[in-house]
Amino acid sequence: MRRKTMNATPQYFALIPAAGVGARMAAGCPKQYLPLLGRPMLGHTVDAFLRCRHIAHTYVVVSAGDAYIDDVLPAQTPGMTVLRCGGATRMESIRNGLRLIAADIDPQDRVLVHDAARPGLTPALIDTLIDAAGTDPAGGLLALPVVDTVKTTRGGSVATTPRDGLWLAQTPQMFPYALLLRALEEAPDPAAITDDASAVEMLGFSPRLVEGHPRNLKVTLPGDVRIAEMYLTMDSV
């Protein structure tokens, strides 16, 4: 791992919060360790970053008492470090991880935060994000434009909401290290932070949206496992 230096050109680091329990999966282990095509989900997720030419190093944040990680990601895995500093929430895990790597990353280096339960990510999608927004001071994230008709019941009755300009946020979400840490530490209402971009937006920044791919879905419910496996057997995009 490199020592901290002030570089004009940013380097790119991956940070994967993997301290959750995945309660909605109703599985016998945290969902990031569920098998996909005979391999733990987290292994597929980390592999995308380890195979990406842009990524200088990958950090995986787990809880202090995680009993699975050593078998899934051996400590000697090149280009990867496990941080046992996971918190009670995703936001807390990310913030703890950012603080822990402070000595090895420059303020303007970019951190790509990615959900452990998005195993369909590919090096090509990471490249797409970095090529499009890698030097944007506000950062950027993969997202999908909404294509279905959107309904709302917020007014007490069913109504149609125009889908023009609506996007579904994915990860990675990429920001300058100093900006992301500031955004998470200064968030006035942690409950309102639904993703990392929303924290950055609260500071007045407008991250760039970069079109992703449906294969980068988040495994949340049991039925999502088979969909993720389907994409994993397909050619990369």
Percent of the chain whose predicted confidence (pLDDT) is above 70: 93
Q: Residue 76 above 80 pLDDT?
A: yes
Rounded to whole angstroms, how far apart are CA atoms 102 and 213?
A: 32
Rounded to whole angstroms, how far apart are CA atoms 208 and 205?
A: 10
Across the range 50-58, mean pLDDT stands at: 98
Residue 162: asked if its preceding bond is cis (omega within 30°), the reply is no
How sure is the predictor about 61, in pLDDT bands with cuts at 50, 70 and 90?
very high
Q: Residue 60 above 90 pLDDT?
A: yes
Least confident of 24-38, 68-82, 200-214: 24-38
Structure-model confidence comparison of residues 31 and 27, the more confident one: 31
**Alpha helix ranges (H) inside the chain:** 41-50, 69-72, 90-100, 123-133, 177-186, 196-201, 224-232
pLDDT in tens, 184-221: 999 888 777 899 999 999 999 999 999 999 999 999 99
pLDDT in tens, 123-147: 999 999 999 999 999 999 999 999 9
Quote the pLDDT of residue 21.
Answer: 66
Q: Residue 7 above 70 pLDDT?
A: no
pLDDT in tens, 192-201: 789 999 999 9
Quote the pLDDT of residue 29.
Answer: 83
Q: Residue 74 above 80 pLDDT?
A: yes
CB 180 within 8 A of CB 98: yes
DSSP for 119-150, please give it.
TT--HHHHHHHHHHHTT-TT-EEEEEE--S-E
Q: Residue 23 above 60 pLDDT?
A: no
pLDDT in tens, 166-176: 999 999 999 99
Domains, the chain, ranges and CATH? 12-232 (3.90.550.10)
Structure-model confidence comparison of residues 26 and 217, the more confident one: 217
Quote the pLDDT of residue 25.
Answer: 55
